[in-house]
Amino acid sequence: MQRDSSSATVSGTDQDDPATDGRVTGRRMASTGSGLRIQGDDNLQSMLVGTVMRKIKSRSWKKQRYFKLQEDCTTIWYKSKKAGNTHSTFSVSDVEAIREGHQSEVLLSIADEFPADRCFTLVFRGRRGNLDLVAESVEEAQSWIRGMKKLIENLENMGEREKLDQWIGDLFKKADKNKDGRMNFKEVRDLLKMMNVDMNEHHAHRLFTVRVFEMADKSQSGTLEDDEFVLFYKMLTQREDLLKVFQDYSADGQKLSQSDLEDFLKEEQLEEDDFQQKAKQLIEHYEPSDTAKLLNAMTFDGFLMYLGSSEGSIFNPRRRGVFQDMSQPLCHYFISSSHNTYLMEDQLRGQSSVEGYIRALNRGCRCVEVDCWDGANGEPIVYHGHTFTSKILFKDVVSAVGKYAFKVSEYPVILSIENHCSIEQQRVMAQHLNHILGDKLLKTTLDGKVGLPSPEDLKGKILLKAKKIGGLEESFNGMVEDSLTGEASDEDEVAEIDKDNLHRDSIRCRFKTKQHLSKELSDCVVYCKSVHFSSFKHSRIHSKFYEVTSFTESKARKHLRDAAAEFVHHNSRQLTRVYPSGFRTDSSNFNPQEMWNAGCQIVALNFQTAGEGMDMNDGLFSQNGHCGYVLKPVFMREAAKRFDPEMPQNQDGYQPVILTIQVISGQQLPKVNIKEDSIVDPLVRVEIHGVPIDQAKQETRYIENNGFNPVWYDTLRFTVHTPELAMVRFVVEDYDKTSKNDFVGQYTLPLSCMQQGYRHIHLLSKDGTTIPPSSLFVHIRITKLDKPSSLS
């Protein structure tokens, strides 16, 4: 089956502008624009009227388009000025940020033609390309910039109920094909298919004529108007699963008294807070009825709101912000890291772009790769050497890193330099680093600090990881000669590829050489000197705390097989970088978990490639404030512990757990097949990723033809021997008995961040973006297991 990408991409249709017919309902405006004052806001009024702007794709592709905000205040509509009705739309919720001025490569390329104050860029979520625009005047540009920022802020501040109202309104608009503000039976039947509900013609007609129109069609018109549609939707979305839980704890079946709610929090949710205070807080925050609030009670609507909120989600809100000790040495943290950061696609012919660095840094990445080669006019360039990938200027990369390094996280960024430049251009690199980054570039050791500094020590600093002449001791004791150049063993990815490449002899002969380094560039390297790895024994005796070794994934796996405990011990003292095999020309990723099991800190992934690898990375680093640093378990930080991921039962403090997950139901799963009559047959797979003995997966049965409100009540149990390292991945698929199942959605998080009890899991797309209101409803229990005598 092919995935339906209509909600994720700009799509062309052959309809007139739906905002010009005046039929968008008042309730729709009120619900989606909750808290949004349109009257008196000149920016939004201007957007509603519409504006002609230039859409820019390159220096040679600059075309005028008519843009306008729809009356729902959540959709932007645009079309060509030329004859014809083809138009495109995108949702405000798809826009992650607005950049003013020449802040994209495309707009920089036309900077001489259009002034910065008329230019802006809409940055979309996920891996979708930017939209670069030039307004006719500064005033029009500012209207759209300020208006879009207000719309985005409004969406971000919406509660769960308002988000659901917005989704209902979107459905109404899609289903109302003839735009008359009403839905007839055919439109309602088509809507059901759109919502992943399978219903035969006869049964659907009986339901709507006998039940729906009796109960919902108050206007007696044989159609559903907007408010009637809301009632119809509520009839369809009765949550029997939640009602059962509610009634189990409700003394009168109508409401939860404060005492009832306290019992629920204590017995089911296993909340650790003051139950009385917590219950009061939940009633105050989520209960919509003022009458119930006066009684210190929660109605079923309030219960729904609570369990649909972040407090009712599977991810523990206490672990969202920075909660870990950030004062330990860098080598004690897992560090979110990118490989070939400059690439937007594959490694053979893909586009190189500064945008790759901006996107990675904005996702909390703290280590980016810069692959440097000699360029024209004495300017170093960045690209994937000896391939057909496009080239960008090194100074533009440094500028982007300097600008975006600390927008999302204040903790240090590591620039992993792969240096193929001549001495002359290395000096130019050093000049750019010093001039552009200024005080952000770490040039000297920290006063009074022996050993690797901590993320806290290095806040706001950018570190260079590269080869270096001599060591820190010599550099800062004045022992380095005043020569302009030096030599270092060539230890970088190109040299390492020979272990993974079929053309081994030619690669080895071509790149295994001594490399000349400029002193200026060498002096920019302080705590991250790239060195060649000989053996764990050699490292134990001779290595310095500031030395960093790099391995391909295959080399790292070999060390894991041969000496896992030694590998963990090595990583308790110094940094290690692991990167994808040279065979991965499609920029695919390995599963980073096996490298985290060895305590490898800088596990570099292709951020541009969606899939399991990036799901795992996003999941691990979703905790601790998305700051890009996660503290390793104590048994991986202390050299004396000698943790062996192959034999976890031998560690001190070994405490296995039983993870029990009851998958209860799903809500409004997205349609994945473009065929109109296709309905999802969903199943849920739960995967445990961790030390080898913990790797496991189990599935629910599939539910035929129901992606709207499937119910399973299937229970899955896992024994987890090293819960501190375990990641849990929930994957929803559309079952297909004749071919591979289609991906529907996923959610990945550390076991240590899971909340117990009844929880919602808000699903993410393949790109890692939200797909509201799609969710799973589950019950979670984590119980200690008596230490077994053996792991048979």
User: 721 an active-site residue?
Assistant: no
To the nearest 10°, the Cα dihedral for 688, 691, 692, 696?
-10
| C-alpha of 136 from chain center | 35
Rounded to whole angstroms, the Cα distance separating 634 from 279 reads 35
| C-alpha of 171 from chain center | 26
Beta bridge partners of 183: 224
Catalytic residue among 87, 332, 339, 721: 339
Q: Is 401 helix (H, G, I), strand (E, B) or coil?
A: helix
Residue among 257, 14, 42 at smallest CA distance from 139: 42
Rounded to whole angstroms, the Cα distance separating 617 from 614 reads 5
State the alpha helices, DSSP H only, in 237-307. 240-249, 258-267, 275-286, 290-294, 300-307
Q: Is 21 helix (H, G, I), strand (E, B) or coil?
A: helix
Q: Give the length of the chain.
A: 792
User: 689 an active-site residue?
Assistant: no
Q: Phi and psi dihedrals of 123, rounded to 5? A: -100, 120
- Tell me how far CA of residue 571 lies from CA of 525, 575, 605, in angstroms: 20, 6, 19
> If 0-12 CB within 10 Å is exposed, 13-18 middle and 19+ buried, where does residue 288 land?
middle
Residue among 666, 771, 783 at smallest CA distance from 720: 783
- Tell me how far CA of residue 442 lies from CA of 115, 469, 619, in angstroms: 35, 17, 30
Provide the b/e sequence for 667-701 (b: ≥16 CB within 10 Å).
bbbbbbbeeeebbbbbbbbbbbbbbbbbebebbbe
Catalytic residue among 384, 432, 559, 569: 384
Residue 425 identity: Q
Is 320 in contact with 625 (CB distance < 8 Å)? Answer: yes
Q: Phi and psi dihedrals of 126, rounded to 5? A: 70, -145
Rounded to whole angstroms, the Cα distance separating 520 from 527 reads 16
Q: Are strands 514-518 and 485-489 parallel, antiparallel or unpaired?
A: antiparallel
Residues known to be catalytic? 339, 384
